[in-house]
Amino acid sequence: MDTSKTSNTVFTNHVAEEIDATVSSLSPSGVFVLVDRNTEDTVLPRMQMLSKAIASATPISIAPGDDNKTVDALTHVWKQLSDNHATRSSVLINLGGGMVTDLGSFAASTFKRGIPFINVPTTLLAAVDASVGGKTGINFNGLKNEVGTFSDARKVIISTMFFNTLSMTQLRSGYAEMLKHGLIDSGQTFNTLLAYHVEQQDTDRLLTLLKDSVAVKQAIVDQDPREAGLRRALNLGHTVAHAFESVAIERKSPIPHGYAVAYGLVVAAVLSHMKFDFPSTELHKLSDYVRSNYGAFAITCDEYPHLLDIMSHDKKNLYPDTFNFTLLRAPGDVATDTLVTPAEITAALDIYRDLLGLA
Ligand code: GLY
């Protein structure tokens, strides 16, 4: 893999060298590495052998999973930093999936009013979305990413070497965010993404698609880092995705974030067709791809009121009791801040069930 850069993001095969060079350029007073119990067992020992900075770092470990992206885990990280005499010139390396990069970035951006941090995403989902773009946060009061900051990593170091151990489910989960970027970018990018399936396991192809996908996100973030407007494009599919994820958790059967995004994209495309005449050919290409790669999240019409209630609390809504969606006039033509009615959402959920074979 060639080393190439998008903003502060580096794609490289030489991940240890890149970490060491970045840490050394910061001349830190101390180095800390945040892992969860998964990356602690699988990735950390390998990286300790390869990277001088990680070998010398104080490890901080938290429990894995989005349900552990909590205040308790956050205070554990702050306490470890404090007990181990981290100073404002210490550096935190976040080595893990989106949960580790979100929580670790938040801990670093608030400890002593902010210490430098480096994101080393180990999942496709974190590489394409969570670790890039400066959003940090934790879940709070039953709401995802309810508390957080905007704070840029000194470097985001992306290497496909970590992806070898990912399951097809984890890869598909990340790929859904790439599909989202494709829809936001252009018909051509979207169709290029539809031509690839993670089962092909073509690492070079995936890397090319990943680089292009991160570049789509980065271009948007560069123009609107604080989500004043344009960045809301990146919320495509997420209002429904978060509602489906919440219901799945209530059913004690959580679904991967990217799967929820895939289903949410279908609902967003249906609403886009209803409100903006989004082409039905593109809608059907998307729903066919989602149906064959992600299956469907089963919902019944009895659950619509509850789903609407969850969506009405979405932090993307600008006013209480309104539903604010990011939609598309066509691939590459985004309509942020589109108000939709409960009746339109209900109709779109009916069509979603039909398209994904649930009705
Ligand atoms: N994941 C959406 C964003 O970073 O804005």
257 lines ligand 1 (CB under 6 A): no
CA of 136 to the centre of ligand 1 (A): 10
pLDDT in tens, 28-75: 999 999 999 999 999 999 999 999 999 999 999 999 998 899 999 999
pLDDT in tens, 69-118: 999 999 999 999 999 999 999 999 999 999 999 999 999 999 999 999 99
133 lines ligand 1 (CB under 6 A): yes
Question: Other C-beta atoms within 10 Å of 142: how many?
Answer: 10
pLDDT in tens, 174-214: 999 999 999 999 999 999 999 999 999 998 999 999 999 99
Span of 93-107, 132-146, 163-177, 310-324 with lowest mean pLDDT: 310-324
At residue 78, the 3 state secondary structure works out as helix
Q: Which residues contact residue 311 at a Cβ distance below 8 angstroms, ignoring those fewer than 6 apart?
A: 239, 240, 242, 243, 323, 345
Whether residue 314 has pLDDT greater than 80: no
Atom of ligand 1 nearest to the CA of 132: 4
CA of 131 to the centre of ligand 1 (A): 10
The mean pLDDT of the chain is: 94
Interatomic CA distance for residues 195 and 209, integer angstroms: 11
Backbone phi, psi, residue 176, to 5°: -65, -40
> Which residue's alpha carbon is nearest to atom 5 within ligand 1?
234
Span of 7-11, 162-166, 311-315 with lowest mean pLDDT: 311-315
98 lines ligand 1 (CB under 6 A): no
CA of 91 to the centre of ligand 1 (A): 24
- What is the pLDDT confidence band of residue 249, given thresholds at 50, 70 and 90? confident
Residue 2, pLDDT score = 43
And the tokens for 350? 């009916």
182 lines ligand 1 (CB under 6 A): no
Residue 319, pLDDT score = 67
Span of 4-18, 22-36, 42-56, 136-150 with lowest mean pLDDT: 4-18
Under DSSP, the state recorded for 70 is: S
Whether residue 5 has pLDDT greater than 60: no
Whether residue 3 has pLDDT greater than 70: no
